[in-house]
Structure formats: C-alpha cells, structure tokens
Amino acid sequence: MTATALMVDERLLRTSPLRRLLGRPELGSVVGALAVFLFFALVADSFVRAAGLSTVLYAASTIGIMAVPVALLMIGGEFDLSAGVMVTSSALISSMFSFQMTANVWVGVGVSLLVTLAIGFFNGFMLTRTGLPSFIITLGTFLMLTGMNLGFTKLISGTVSTKTIADMEGFASARAVFASVLTVGGVDFKITILWWLGLVALASWILLRTRVGNWIFAVGGGKDAARAVGVPVDRTRIGLYMGVSLAAWIAGQHLLFSFDVVQSGEGVGKELTYIIAAVIGGCLITGGYGSAIGSAVGALIFGMTDKGIVFAEWNPDWFKFFLGAMLLLATLLNAWVRKRAEATK
Amino acid sequence: MARFRTWVGIAVAGALGASLAGCSSTGGKRAEDARKAASAQGGAAVDTPRWTFAMITHSGDGDTFWDIVQNGAEQAAVKDNIKFLYSHDDEAQQQAQLVDAAVDKGVDGIIVTLAKPDAMKAALARATKAGIPVITVNSGSAESKAFGALTHIGQDETIAGEAVGEELNRRGRKKTLCVLHEQGNVGHEQRCAGVRKTFDGTVRNLYVEGTDMSAVQASIGAKLQADRSVDAVVTLGAPYAGTAVKARQDAGSEAETVTFDLNAKVAASLKDGTLGFAVDQQPYLQGYEAVDLLWLHKYNADTLGGGRPVLTGPQIITKDQAAALEQYAERGTR
C-alpha cells in the first residue's frame, strides 16, 4: 500500500488487463469450453464440419435462451424450478388459444406472452409476500404447471397434444420470426441462435452497464444490506422472475412454430439443465456472482457434450455420467480460478 | 477397451474368488452364460461394404422394451456387416436434433420412431433431401409415408387394443380397468380406446405415475378395493404387469390381470397362471427387420409392405406358448 493508494478509493484502483480477465466469472468455463471443443474435434471429425457445428449451436441455443435469465435470477440469489415446464406451457397457450378462437396466430402469441409473464409475476410476488424460499415456491409452480399442461390440453383438445395450427393465418410470419432457418454460406443456421446471442447481449448490458444490474448483484449478495441502502429488492426479484418468463415465452414459441404441434408432457427436468448451464458458466448457487456470457458458455458446453457424444458414436447410456463429471470439473475449475483471482488482487 | 475389460474381469474374478464359499448352483450369471453360448451371435454373413445405420428413438433412459429392439437391430447389424449407432431422447426437440446429428454425420440409413411425428417432420425432410433412406419403427404408421420413409415396421395400437378386448370377451369378463402409466402418450390412449371398441363390458381408464412403482401399486390397489366389480386389469407395459398382480393380491380381488408387451417376468407369470395373457408386438423384430430392410434397400433396392405398414403384432400369448418364450425373454430377445 503506497501513500497514493490510501488517498484513492480501492474500487477505483486501476488493475492490469490480465488481472481483470482473471476476475471474470466466465473465465473458468471458457477454458472448459475450449477443452471440450478440442476433445470432440479430435475424436469426431463430423463434429467440426459446418453442418455439425450448426447442429451443436442449435442445441446450445435452445438451452442458452433459458440459461440467460436463469443465470440473472441466480445472481439475484434465487431459483426457478418452473422454468422447464413454463416453456411448454407458453407453447400450449399460443397454440390452443389460436386454434380454439380461430384467431390469427399472432393473437395467440400475444396472449401467451401475457399469461407467461403473469406466471413469472406470480412466482416473484409469492416469493416477496410469503418469505418462503424460492425453491419451495417454484417447486409448487412447477408441479401445478405440469398438471395444468396435461389437464388443460386434454380438456380442450381431447388428446395429449395440441392440434395443428400450420394452416392458420399468421403462422408463416410467426414461424419466420421464431423458427426460421438462415442459410449462411451453404450451411443452415436456426434463428434461435440469433435470439440467444441477442438475449446474452441484452442481459450483459443490463448487468454491467445499468443501475438494475447493480441492484441484481446487490440483492443476490445480501438482501437486507441491499434494502438498507435503498435497492428496491422486491421489484428487482419480481422483475427477474418475469425475465425468466419472457425467455420461456421465446423458447416456447420456437417449440411451437418449429414443430407446430406441442406435446403437453414435455419440459419436465429441463429446469435443471438451465441451472447446470448457469452454474458451469460461473454462477454461484449462493447468489451475488456470475455473468450472462458465462451462462452462454455453459449452454455451449452442454450442447457440445450432448451432441458430441453422438458424433463420437459413444454409447448414449453414459451421457448423464459425463454431464455430471463435467459439472463437477467445471465448478471446481471456476472455484479455483476465482480463488487465484482474489488472491492476486 | 479390451485391456480395460480384462482388468475389470480380473478384479471381478478376485472378488468372486474371495466369496466362492457362498456359490449358488442354480441360476445367476453362470446359467445366463450357458444360455448365451447356446443362442445366436457370430460374424457377418454378407460381403457388402460396411455401411453405417443410425437408430434414433423416443425412449427414455433405461427402458426394457427399447433394449430388446436394440438387441434385434444389433443382431441384424452383425449379420449384415453394418455399423450400428443408437441414440435416444424422450423430448421431441432433442430427438429431432439427434436425427440432425445423424444426417450431419452422413450415415447410410436412418431408423426412427415417430411418437411425436410433427416434431420429426423437418429433420426427416433433411434426411431424404440428403438421399439417406429412412425406415420408421414402432410408432408413426400414419405419417411414415408422407414423411418420405421407405416403410413402417410396428404394431397398430388400436388393432392391438381391439385384440385385447376380444380376448377378454372370450374369457367372459365384464368390467375392465385400463392402466395408463404415461400421461401424454398417444399410443397408450389408442390401446385403451381399442379395448373399449371391442370389449362388450365397461372399460375404465386409470392414470398412474409410471416412474414410481409403489405409487402404481397403491393406485391400482385402491381402485380394486373401491370397486369390487372390476374383473380384469389391463396394464400397458410389461414392468407394470407384476405390480398389478401384487396390487390385486393385496386388495384380495379376483380380477384377471393381462398386459401389453412381454419380458422374462411376464413369461414366468403367464406360465404359473398369475397373468391371464399378454399381447406382444415383438420388439426384437422391429429392430431386426428395420436394419435388415435398410440393408436390402441398399443392396438390392428392395422394399417391403407395398406402401403399407409391416405389422409385427398383435400376437396374443397365453399359458400354452409362455414356456417356450420364457428362455427367449430371459436372454432379452422377446
């Protein structure tokens, strides 16, 4: 400590670029992603072909779209176990509303957005009002949504999947927005990749460049301390849950418009996938630490492993084992990198 | 891999040697090995190039039925000099992505299940565009042709249900419980609808949580205790037959238990009379024929079925045939 440093607030100290890089939450996961990529590039040659990479990116984007707001929520110190089935709910609502009302498909999409946001609001509102842990609140929502997905679909459509809306007005334009395929240099890329990157950019800007971002970190770091310094804790948490809803709506519309029929029983268990992606990407389970870019890298690792095992022609029975091992390794690496970074500050 | 196996073998042998004092003279691994040695295996019977076929199903993790399908496919792959790849996912989106991955790899043939047909449409279009022959198995007979598949191999679930209804009529049953262990499975709904169509008495649907066996047993037991007039229980999967039998015994009900599909335990229960009959769709055949037909298509441009689905069921199995089938079920091919 020199005399000048005593004069300057420690938060305004200039740190070297390398130190700053080491302090980033996603650094460990980037190293992990490179390792996974190199590994599969060596064992499976179709993995690194353009068509193979496009499939991997698509798989990553379907997870990543949801991993972004889930990561934000985890930075804010909360969980959302209803995120997986919410995607299915959102798709079911659009499809059935349009079909039953014989309305333009966009009407269903709009209604679905409102209802899905309402579910997110419900999660956040219950959390702030009851003071119960988010684990319990969203577990309840998860179970209720699972039942409602099946129950309502069976009640309204008479079967367990929705009826096709492919021949209705507005379907083509909605498909173009949510589920089109872009051909770049002879390779097909799904539009979800763009949605995903857009969400990552938006979330990163919110986290790092706005007041709301500071609120999220503050709420996750310490609720009472944050409230004491004037952070609107309740509004922030409700907003985070509605962010998850918004992404669930995007993912749900993609599900609907790429397949045009939705199976009501799906989405169960996906919520853990999103949480895993966020954790691999450097989010702490305890909150207050993490990044949106990290969640994207986590989703990419997940997608690479998921499809890489297929490209490498391994026995898929072992997939979950590798996933678990990778989760542990990535999290250990994160912890180690973080410890080093803090030690050199 | 081979060296790894040897080490594992040595380790297991060491552990076994330590516990040799407590050996069983019946059943167990030794009996299984003897059975395996007696059953088929061996090398390729043809000299066609080594093609690669990928099979992508909607199975969840660790499903007995799909294990048997895989066994059939692998047996045919050995015989036809085929490199056989298997992958599965019970989420429609993931399954479609797995088909995409197979197309990316440039495999020579694809075998796929259409439990969620609409989700697979685009992926199959990609496959046919790439000139990869596709055969659908097990589910999706209605969509198979429209999606550009060569043929469909499987059982028509409605017809299978009707066969069960007729057999129950023959046995003079009046009130049937149809146990659905997977909410949201269209094929299961069709089976119960088929039973309802031909059965002269009444049919009640009972939804149970298929991933939790004790809950299944409790639900069936409660239903049988609540309604003493039920005289037949139909389960839609082999693993649930034994559970239904237990529930019936606990509830002191006289209802006859019958089931779709077969496994070793069902064959044994048929033999000792605790199960009335089973209706089999021969999963081994679905896997075996799919690989074999793809091979025939590549080798000789043959197709089977004349544009119609090739049916592998229903086959009603009663006490009389069970004894012969038990050994096949035990080795995982029936």
Average pLDDT score over chain A: 89
Strands (E), chain B: 51-57, 82-88, 109-113, 134-138, 152-154, 175-180, 202-207, 232-235, 256-260, 275-280, 310-311, 315-317
Mean pLDDT across the stretch A67-77? 97
Tell me what the mean pLDDT of segment B68-72 comes to: 92
B182 pLDDT band (50/70/90 cuts)?
confident
Q: Is B234 helix (H, G, I), strand (E, B) or coil?
A: strand
Spatial separation of the C-alpha atoms in residues A125 and A138, rounded to whole Å? 11
* Contact between chains at A150 and B183 (C-beta distance less than 8 A): yes
Note whether B184 contacts A161, CB cutoff 8 Å.
yes
DSSP, collapsed to helix, strand or coil, labels residue B199 as: coil
Q: Which residues of A fall within a CB distance of 8 Å from B183?
A: 150, 160, 265
First vs last Cα of chain B: how many Å apart? Answer: 29
Cβ neighbours of B124 in A, within 8 Å: none
The burial of B268, by beta-carbon neighbours within 10 Å (0-12 exposed, 13-18 middle, 19 or more buried), is given as middle
Q: What does each C-alpha distance from B95 to A108, A209, A320, B284 come to in angstroms?
A: 27, 39, 16, 21
Check pLDDT > 50 for residue A237: yes
Q: Is the pLDDT of residue A307 over 90?
A: no
pLDDT at B233: 96
Q: How far apart are CA A33 and CA A227, in angstroms?
A: 37
Nearest-Cα residue of chain B relative to residue A46: B105
pLDDT value, residue B281: 93
Q: Which of A263, A310, A317 is opposite residue B184, by nearest beta carbon?
A: A263
Interface test with A, best of B105, B124, B132 (most A CBs within 10 A): B105
**Closest approach of A45 to chain B, Cα-based (Å):** 9
Question: Is B333 in a helix, a strand, or coil?
Answer: coil
* Percent over 90 (pLDDT), chain A: 57
Residues 280..309 of A with a Cβ closer than 8 Å to B: which?
306-307
What is the DSSP track for B148-161? T-S-EEE--HHHHH
- Residue B41: is its pLDDT beyond 70? no
Average pLDDT of span A192-221: 96
Which chain A residue's Cα is nearest to B61? A317
Q: What is the pLDDT of residue B127?
A: 95
- The pLDDT tens digits for B219-271 are 898 889 888 899 999 999 988 998 999 899 888 899 999 999 988 889 999 99
Residue A225 has pLDDT above 50, yes or no: yes
Q: Of A207, A258, A129, which Cα lies nearest the Cα of B100?
A: A258
Q: Which of A264, A270, A316 sits opposite B88 (nearest CB)?
A: A316
Q: Strand B134-138's sheet: what is its strand order?
A: B82-88, B51-57, B109-113, B134-138, B152-154, B310-311
CB contact A100 to B (< 8 Å): no
A255 touches chain B (CB under 8 A): yes
Q: Looking up tokens 């707001």, which residue turns up?
A: A69
Three-state secondary structure call for residue B172? coil
Confidence of residue A5 (pLDDT cuts 50, 70, 90): very low
- Rounded to whole angstroms, the Cα distance separating B30 from B23 reads 11
B101 to A55: CB separation less than 8 angstroms, yes or no: yes
Strand, coil or helix: B51: strand
**Under 8 Å between Cβ of A281 and A295:** yes
Cβ within 8 Å, pair B87-A55: no
Interchain pair A161, B186: CB under 8 A: yes
DSSP A105-164: HHHHHHHHHHHHHHHHHHHHHHHHHH---HHHHHHHHHHHHHHHHHHHHHHHHSSSBPPP
- Which pLDDT score is estimated for A52? 87
pLDDT digits (tens, 9 = 90+) for B266-304: 999 999 999 999 999 999 999 999 999 999 999 999 999
Q: Could you read off the pLDDT of B97-112 as tens digits, one per residue?
A: 999 999 999 999 999 9
Q: What pLDDT score does B3 carry?
A: 67
Q: Where are the alpha helices (DSSP H) in chain A?
A: 3-7, 17-22, 27-43, 50-75, 83-101, 105-130, 134-157, 171-179, 192-209, 211-221, 223-228, 233-259, 270-280, 292-311, 319-343
Does pLDDT of A1 surpass 50? no
Give residue A218's pLDDT band: very low, low, confident or very high (50, 70, 90): very high
Which tens digits make up the pLDDT trace of A147-182? 999 889 888 887 777 888 988 999 999 999 999 999
pLDDT in tens, B120-166: 999 999 999 999 999 999 988 889 999 999 999 999 999 999 999 99
Contact A316 B106 (CB under 8 A): no
Token readout for A223 is 């609720």
Residue B37: what pLDDT?
A: 60
pLDDT at B12: 61
Average pLDDT over residues A45-49: 86
Model pLDDT, residue A13 = 67
**In the structure encoding, which two tokens stand for residue A110, read together?**
């709009």
pLDDT band at residue B1 using 50, 70 and 90 as cut-offs: low
Optimal mutation site among A48, A55, A255, interface B, most CBs of chain B within 10 A: A55
Q: If you average pLDDT over each of A282-286, B181-185, B316-320, which comes out highest?
A: B316-320
- pLDDT of A323 reads 78
User: Are A307 and B92 inside 8 Å of each other by CB?
Assistant: no
C-alpha dist (Å) from residue B50 to B80, B82, B154, B256: 8, 5, 26, 49
Question: How many CB atoms sit inside 10 A of residue A150's CB?
Answer: 18
**Per-position b or e across B298-314, b if 16+ CB within 10 A of its CB:** beeeeeeeeeebbbbbb
The mean of the pLDDT values for chain B is 88
